[in-house]
Amino acid sequence: MTETFDFIIIGGGIAGASAAWFLSPHGRTLILEREEYPGYHTTGRSAAFFAETYGNAVVQQLTRASRSFLLSPPDGFSETPLVHKRGAVYMATAEQVEFLEQSYRTKKAVSPEIKQLTATEILEKAPCLRKGYAVAGYEDPGCRDIDVHALHQGYLRGMKKNGGKMLCNQSVEDISRSAEGWQVELAEGRVEGRVLVNAAGAWGDELAAVAGVAPIGLDPRRRTVICVDADGAELSPEMPLVLDAEDEFYFKPEGGGILLTPCDETPMPPCDVQPEELDIARAIDRLEQASEFRVTHVRRKWSGLRTFVPDRSPVVGFDPDIAGFFWCVGQGGFGIQTSPAIGRLVAELIVNGETGSVLPVAEISPQRFRN
């Protein structure tokens, strides 16, 4: 027997989960996830933080629209806070000062609380740094760590509470039009739905092709993260996130160790991506060049795929050529912190056909790839 839904969401990561949370009060909602559990790929491998100045202007607007949800989630959404105060310090070497000054002016226009730091002030906030390495910087006191697991699970719990359903280990074999809108053939059985939401992340173009929808040019890129032990300097758990001015690396305290990334963006096909030893070595070298730390042990190493389109803004909206096919992809490295705004936008556009908010609908519409 074919089960019928109002909304079928393919992909159980943060994009699909947030869309399901906002859609589920408006109709029968199903998430199809091909892995054993949702969030296996990018969501579960994210070192997420909330920063209103991160990303381009469109991402910043979506982040600001997500702030109240993350800081004060709805009653019953999570038993623990979704964010924790961290703060961020952006630092520059002598060769990076001009770039830093431009970056400071851009971010200051977005967030007035950002303030410049002298070399001495940088060392006061991050004493582990090597003296003389950073000559200038600025701080973003509003930066916060995001509890990705709590946020993701909150979306999924709420969706199920509203009568939604999630099926894991589900391989999509075929997608076709039906009287109900869409028919999705699975390895075992089929489901039908009025609206099909493509929240398949790096696999978004591949999923679209199965449904007979033209691709939009998704560009998955590997990001490597490691957690290390180190000696040579004291590590305070209260230390802010420390970022290189030109996005060459960043690090922060994490579970008694140091979470570190070389900020790599290596083009990759959609896959179960794994870290490369060269990127791990590059991350460690950059940390040791900038600080007094000397890495003694790599506790964990992992990679995830951050998926972009050329303008680096998300893609959210109905495909203009294929009725009932809704894109929710291309969140890049900002999908966690923008998920409340994007999830709400998905529901408004599907249920109402428009949004009553001031969110940048045109700037993230798939229409921009069809002109």
* Structure tokens given for 31: 């998430």
Predicted confidence at residue 308, as pLDDT, reads 97
Mean local confidence (pLDDT), 199-223: 97
State whether 250 and 297 are in the same domain: yes
pLDDT tens, residue by residue, 12-33: 999 999 999 999 999 999 999 9
Residue 299: which domain range? Answer: 88-141+219-308
Predicted confidence at residue 43, as pLDDT, reads 54
How far is C-alpha 26 from the chain's CA centre? 25
State whether 301 and 335 are in the same domain: no
Mean local confidence (pLDDT), 45-53: 82
| Domain-located, residue 208 | yes
Predicted confidence at residue 233, as pLDDT, reads 94
Predicted confidence at residue 37, as pLDDT, reads 74
Q: Place 41 in a pLDDT band, splitting at 50, 70 and 90.
A: low
Backbone angles phi, psi at 171, to 5 degrees: -90, 125
Find the CATH number of the domain harbouring 208: 3.50.50.60
The pLDDT of residue 36 is above 80: no
State whether 157 and 32 are in the same domain: yes
| Domain-located, residue 183 | yes
Could you count the other beta carbons within 10 Å of the beta carbon of residue 316? 29
State whether 161 and 290 are in the same domain: no
Q: Place 1 in a pLDDT band, splitting at 50, 70 and 90.
A: low
Nearest-Å Rg of the Cα atoms of the chain is 21
| Domain-located, residue 79 | no
> Which are the contacts of 350, defined by CB distance < 8 A and separation ≥ 6?
7, 23, 26, 195, 197, 318, 326
Domain boundary residue among 308, 336, 359?
308
Give the bridge partners for 222, in sequence order.
266, 305
Predicted confidence at residue 187, as pLDDT, reads 87
Q: Place 46 in a pLDDT band, splitting at 50, 70 and 90.
A: low
State whether 92 and 18 are in the same domain: no
The pLDDT of residue 40 is above 70: no
- Domain count for the chain: 2
In whole angstroms, give the CA distance from residue 196 to residue 10.
8
Domain boundary residue among 308, 333, 353?
308
Do 10 and 207 form a contact (C-beta atoms < 8 A)? yes
Q: Place 348 in a pLDDT band, splitting at 50, 70 and 90.
A: very high
Q: Place 71 in a pLDDT band, splitting at 50, 70 and 90.
A: very high
Q: What is the mean pLDDT of the chain?
A: 95
Q: Place 179 in a pLDDT band, splitting at 50, 70 and 90.
A: confident
Q: Where are the alpha helices (DSSP H) in the chain?
A: 14-23, 57-71, 97-110, 119-125, 148-161, 204-210, 277-290, 339-351, 361-364
| Domain-located, residue 80 | no
Do 339 and 330 form a contact (C-beta atoms < 8 A)? no
Mean local confidence (pLDDT), 74-81: 96
- Burial of 237 (C-beta count, 10 Å sphere; 0-12/13-18/19+): exposed
pLDDT tens, residue by residue, 107-140: 999 999 999 999 999 999 999 999 999 999 999 9
Find the CATH number of the domain harbouring 277: 3.30.9.10
pLDDT tens, residue by residue, 271-297: 999 999 999 999 999 999 999 999 999
* Structure tokens given for 294: 């000397």
pLDDT tens, residue by residue, 330-344: 999 899 999 999 999
State whether 224 and 361 are in the same domain: no
State whether 206 and 225 are in the same domain: no
Angle, in degrees to the nearest 10, between helices 14-23 and 339-351:
50
* Structure tokens given for 307: 């998926």
